[in-house]
């Protein structure tokens, strides 16, 4: 394998998610498509992997992400050091994104937060 190509997240509102991931995390849209009742988009950052989003025509209305279900538990963005972690905390604060405190984790330090659908995200120092 040559690494992670992309990770796809099911979202309730594609446009709202694209706006949030662009505004808060600095991803940019590199492609969009509508296929078989699905609206899809691919976002990228040069220093990260690509994220893909899909809004299904039958996504359960009012549903929220729950990491206790089979499937995705969370998405972790790797950071080089604590300085970078604190810079991202400042960015989350500027966008009024609720987040945890810096926590000593198994392999580094971590800050957890959630996207508009409640998908669990974190910044993790390497």
Domains of the chain: residue spans and CATH? 1-57 (3.10.180.10), 74-126 (3.10.180.10)
Please write the tens of the pLDDT for every residue from 7-59: 899 898 999 999 999 999 999 999 999 988 889 999 999 888 899 999 987 66
The set of residues, in sequence order, having a beta carbon less than 8 Å from that of 99 and lying 6+ positions away, is 89, 92, 111, 112, 113
Joined tokens for residue 89: 């905390």
pTM of structure:
0.88
State residue 34's pLDDT score. 94
pLDDT, one tens digit per residue, over 45-54 is 988 889 999 9
């Amino acid at each position: 394998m040559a690494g992670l190509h992309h990770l796809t997240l099911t979202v309730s509102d594609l446009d709202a998610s694209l706006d949030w991931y662009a505004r808060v995390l600095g991803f940019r849209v590199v492609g969009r498509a509508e296929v078989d009742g699905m609206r899809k988009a691919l976002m990228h950052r040069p220093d990260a992997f690509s994220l893909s989003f899909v809004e299904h025509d039958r996504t359960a209305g009012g549903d929220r992400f729950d990491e206790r279900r089979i499937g995705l538990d969370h998405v972790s963005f790797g950071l080089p050091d604590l300085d970078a972690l604190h810079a991202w905390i400042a960015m989350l604060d500027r966008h009024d994104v609720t987040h945890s405190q810096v926590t000593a984790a198994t392999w580094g330090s971590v800050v957890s937060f959630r996207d508009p659908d409640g998908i669990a995200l974190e910044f993790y120092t390497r």
